[in-house]
Chains A and B, each alone.
Chain A
């Protein structure tokens, strides 16, 4: 038996989860897909007093479109994000980013809410939420509140969720005519990213607007780089521009050194990932313009 002893409870509603969280405070840990928590338990890096299993809350597993927003329940399994037709159509970058998570058996078990609440700095979904401008809903004793993704992530494994609150839903605004790229570097397929980048912009005639440049795996949380976003949308779009955007994205970047990569190497990887993501978005743009020209 690997995990240290704990008590186990499986509430049957969000209200019950909140009650348990309030009652047990710091001793309680929520178990969703378990793909991050279970390794921590097995290695005894986490020794919670009580495990609150929310896998019975089927009402938190959904993907639905309401107007110009996509609503995704926190317990929705990651493999559904990869395959769901609405997601592939309205926010394809989310499907692509999800596909970079671990391996298929991890994504059959892992949930969107679990990844976001865990807030690993190298995780793909927190970065995708920042790039997409998502809002995250949490529920506590005093009701629900909504937190913009960029404010949600506060450090390594640290979020704006307060004691006694449960992350229940993400809402993603659907943008039209979007080009995007998502790239990450891992030593082996499925490993944690040493560095990753997401580029996203809306096409408006011959330029890009509302650009997003988000890095992950490089600092203590996903990082929106506003000065690179300005470069993304203000200059002419070309292959050469890729180097300019990439250089801008890592200017002032404060990477960390660890067992897997030095700060300098990580910064270089981040630069290259931005460049590749930019070129992917550019190729998408060229393709869409050719299609438009062909059908005109």
Chain B
């Protein structure tokens, strides 16, 4: 057990093993963008408020700006790139387009990942309050949220 300044980080991003030598102060968000090529991970506030950098860690939504890359060793990371390979991810994408649930798109990946987690895991029934609580962890400066909530409700109603 020795303190380290640089270390080799081995993890799985969207099912693909990634191994990189990193400065230990590298955040998970920067690692995902710069080393794993997952540019869907957006950095907005960098202190956990805006939700744009949300990723799934072992299936749970977490802020990747509030985690060191070295903490991801031994864990599975899923970003929007991974989720969009799934049927549910594609359904979420279609609902966002059809409901105009995005404009500039900066926040969209975070919203989509939190919603994906809700739709995958929440016991029936998903209430409007569940949706508000889930989406409440994300900031969108374009839409005014109504269209995102509508997309979420539609996805909930179609959930199978």
Contact = CB atoms under 8 A, between A and B. Distances in A.
Interface in A185-243: 189-190
Contacts of B137: 102-106, 190
A102 B48 CA distance: 9
A190 B49 CA distance: 9
Contacts of A9: 1-4
A42 B61 contact: no
Interface string A1-21: 111111111111000100000
A41 B47 CA distance: 9
B63 A109 contact: yes
Interface in B65-86: 65-68, 70-71
B31 to A, nearest CB: 10
Given A34-B67, A103-B136, A7 B47 contact: no
A103 B137 CA distance: 5
A62 interface: no
A38 B66 contact: yes
Nearest to A108: B60
A11 to B, nearest CB: 6
Interface residues of B, number: 35
A10 B134 CA distance: 32
A9 B63 CA distance: 22
Contact of A8 (B49, B63, B65, B70): B70
Contacts of B67: 34, 38, 109
Contacts of A109: 62-63, 66-67
B54 interface: yes
A35 B51 CA distance: 13
Interface in A98-120: 102-106, 108-109
Contacts of A11: 1
Q: Which of A3, A7, A10, A38 has the most CB of B within 10 A?
A: A38
Nearest to A6: B25
A39 interface: yes
Contact of B47 (A43, A79, A103, A105): A43
Interface string A104-144: 11101100000000000000000000000000000000000
A16 B1 CA distance: 9
Q: Which of B30, B51, B60, B114: most chain A Cβ within 10 A?
A: B60
Nearest to A3: B25
Given A7-B3, A7-B24, A1 B30 contact: yes
Interface string B35-62: 0000000000011110100100100111
Interface string A69-110: 000000000010000000000000000000000111110110
Nearest to A109: B62
A280 interface: no
6 contacts: A6-B25, A7-B4, A43-B47, A53-B68, A108-B61, A189-B133
Interface of B: 1-5, 7, 23-27, 30, 46-49, 51, 54, 57, 60-63, 65-68, 70-71, 114, 132-134, 136-137
Given A42-B46, A104-B134, 16 more contacts: A1-B30, A2-B46, A4-B25, A7-B4, A8-B25, A10-B70, A16-B1, A34-B68, A51-B24, A55-B71, A103-B136, A103-B137, A104-B133, A105-B54, A106-B137, A108-B60
Give 4 closest A-B pairs by Cβ, nearest first: A103-B137, A39-B47, A8-B24, A7-B3
